[in-house]
Chains A and B, each alone.
Chain A
Amino acid sequence: MLKKILSNYFFIRLVKALVTIFVVATFTFFLIRLMPGNPLDIFIATQLAQGVPLQEAQERAASLFHIDLSRPMMLQYLDYLKNLARGDFGVSIISTNTPVSKIILRFLPWTLFVVTVSLFISFIGGILLGVVMALYRNSWIDQILSFLASIISSIPNYVIAMLIVVYFGVKLKWFNIAEIRGSLSPGVKPEFSLYFLKDAFYHAMLPIIVYVLTTIGSWMLVMKSSTISTLGEDYVEVAKARGIKESRIMTSYVARNAILPLFVSLAISIGFVVGGSPLIESIFVYQGIGLKLSDAITTRDYPVMQAIFLIITASVVVANFLADLLLGVLDPRIRTSRN
């Protein structure tokens, strides 16, 4: 019986995740295919204007968008889904003959690298500071940290990025902006060497600082309130009454329980790692997937745009699914109740 309910909870979550991915894939297909002035029509029109015969223009469009125009719309849609399932996103319009999947593999690792490192630093730092704030709540430490956390969370991250570049780069000249842009210095190739790692971190440094600064505040505040509510639990009182050392109560009783709800948020945040931030990446000209997305949009490279968007969404969906599972494992009350 219990096992049945358990599988039921996971099953519902799985169906929800799949439906979301399916809806997004369908939505992008019909948006690109059916909108008035849609990219397909525009592409064919430009080809015609360049003197390409209609038939050939349609063939080119078909091969680019992986859509066979002679077939009925529903069959085209099925083809599209079939290609997606095989991980075939078509070819880029701008860099001719380059498969979209290849482009994604080139840009994605940089975003994953920067955002994962930032998320790690920000999560750990936020947890530690949050516990400190909860322990010394209403002291000057707590007040200063709370104030800073709420201020820095309300400033747009791209503004912080610009201020860092202008103040520390242009004004104080702590680093050379022209040199630090991009994800690697010219001539440096990805390899297992100290030299490569040093260069990668040198270029990733500024985006990491910005991500950490703009996300650490909310981790701090959430951890603080979680810790404060845990401090009031009965088992903490009991532990005190049993005369357990204060430091041990803090680490094994309070912090361990207070951190639980944050792991679920962490799982959700991991989904957003793939998307990175088009804004931060474009300010630092960091060659990640977010920059590629905004490039694809300005150059109207629809297959690339569509694929990146799908991947970003799918990773958030998968992360949410994992977070739900994690929540179900951590909190038995959730998986036993329906919905």
Chain B
Amino acid sequence: MKNILISLKDSLKIMMRNKVGFIGFLGTIFFLLLAFVGPYLMPLNMKADLNSIYTGPTIGHPLGTDYQGRDILMQILHGGREVIYVALMAALLTILIAATFGALAAVAGGLIDTVLNGLAEIIITIPHFPLLLVLASLIKFKSPTGLAVILAAIGWGGLMRSIRAQVLSLKERDYVEAARVLGLPISHIIFREILPNMLSYISVQFILSMTSAIYAQVGLIFLGVVPMEQHNWGVMITLAWNQGALFNSRAQWYLLVPITIIVLLQLSLITMTRSMEELFNPRLRRGG
């Protein structure tokens, strides 16, 4: 337990070395808290209040109200869980599929390698967003988990190919050869010798998968092909856009708040990758 705490402290220190990356890290923590703790801070009340439509920021409604007089802060607090859950799940599944297929293709070689590689190539080639649209029209994305599965099912191609390439090159390294000569079990070779060397890359890819899942998810909601809960950030953007943010300058608050949240979330995630690289790559750490 003490060891874990010490390594946690060390990790934080390393992450703090890259200022921008650390700000991104703090931002990400903030949005995770906002999404998962937020719902407990304020009860959800989606009843229309026609006396306070588009109030703008006031003491009672710090972030203003929407086209039916409902508090925007409350919707923000409740609207992140779904968005971030889908992003986390999609990223997790993408990494799992890509790592399994990539490692399998590299280790097994032969026909398995050819088939998996060909499959990856086809998946990479098909434009993702149109494919998502077509799938959304045929398969009902009923649950957030279902959406995450679909996002992962079409998003693993590129990552699988780079993991395969990395495993192929790591396989030939001296220390892996040494471990093999020593007769260490294959699980030791994969989990202790090869995988730790890919941790930096995989963690960065996890974050990038999250950002593209957020992009796709909000985009699908905006085009109206994914039915989601009414207070989801993506749904808020869509409603704000369709409810006259275009022509009614009082409605702009309603649009700008969820947009700002999405932009800051994406920026936090992207900048956080810089710190993650340093954390998992000792070579970068000493250099910087």
Contact = CB atoms under 8 A, between A and B. Distances in A.
Contact of A297 (B118, B136, B267): B136
A159 B262 CA distance: 9
A182 B255 CA distance: 22
Contacts of B255: 162, 166
Interface stretch (A58-66, A191-199, A231-239, A271-279): A271-279
B262 A297 contact: no
Given A20-B125, A23-B122, A297 B225 contact: yes
Given A38-B138, A162-B255, A316-B126, A16 B219 contact: no
Contact of A156 (B118, B136, B215): B215
Interface stretch (A28-36, A70-78, A254-262): A28-36
Interface residues of B, number: 40
Interface stretch (A103-111, A124-132, A147-155, A245-253): A147-155
A170 interface: yes
B252 A170 contact: yes
B146 to A, nearest CB: 14
Nearest to A297: B137
A28 B263 contact: no
A294 interface: yes
Interface stretch (B11-19, B85-93, B183-191, B242-250): B242-250
A300 interface: yes
B137 A305 contact: yes
Contacts of A306: 134
B131 interface: yes
B254 to A, nearest CB: 11
B134 A309 contact: yes
B126 A313 contact: yes
A298 interface: yes
A19 B126 CA distance: 12
Contacts of A300: 137
Interface residues of A, number: 50
B133 A312 contact: no
A297 B215 contact: no
Contact of B263 (A16, A159, A177): A159
A282 B270 contact: no
A317 B267 contact: no
A24 B126 contact: yes
Given A156-B218, A294-B133, A151 B121 contact: no
B201 interface: no
A316 B219 contact: no
Contacts of A31: 138
A313 B125 contact: yes
B287 interface: no
A211 interface: no
A269 to B, nearest CB: 12
Given A162-B241, A170-B246, A305 B134 contact: yes
B266 A316 contact: no
B107 to A, nearest CB: 18
A155 B126 contact: no
A155 B263 contact: yes
Contact of A312 (B127, B241, B256, B270): B127
A293 interface: yes
B125 A317 contact: yes
Interface in B207-242: 211, 214-215, 218-219, 222-225, 237, 241
B225 A298 contact: yes
A155 B266 contact: yes
Nearest to B135: A31
Interface in A279-338: 279, 282-283, 290, 293-294, 297-298, 300, 302, 305-306, 308-309, 312-313, 316-317, 320
Contacts of A170: 245-247, 249, 252
A220 B225 CA distance: 34
B212 to A, nearest CB: 10
Given A278-B129, A313-B127, A320-B125, A298 B224 contact: yes
A158 B219 contact: yes
B85 to A, nearest CB: 19
B130 interface: yes
Contact of A171 (B134, B138, B249): B249
Interface centre among B126, B130, B133 (most CB of A within 10 A): B130
24 contacts: A16-B118, A19-B122, A28-B134, A154-B211, A154-B266, A154-B269, A155-B263, A155-B266, A155-B267, A162-B241, A165-B246, A166-B245, A166-B252, A169-B246, A177-B247, A278-B130, A279-B223, A290-B130, A298-B225, A305-B134, A305-B137, A308-B130, A309-B131, A316-B126
A-B complex: 10 closest residue pairs judged by Cβ atoms: A154-B270, A297-B137, A294-B223, A156-B215, A275-B127, A309-B134, A20-B122, A279-B219, A154-B266, A312-B130
Given A162-B241, A316-B125, 7 more contacts: A16-B118, A20-B126, A24-B126, A166-B255, A171-B252, A177-B247, A305-B137
Interface of A: 16, 19-20, 23-24, 28, 31-32, 35, 38-39, 150-151, 154-156, 158-159, 162-163, 165-166, 169-171, 177-178, 272, 275, 277-279, 282-283, 290, 293-294, 297-298, 300, 302, 305-306, 308-309, 312-313, 316-317, 320
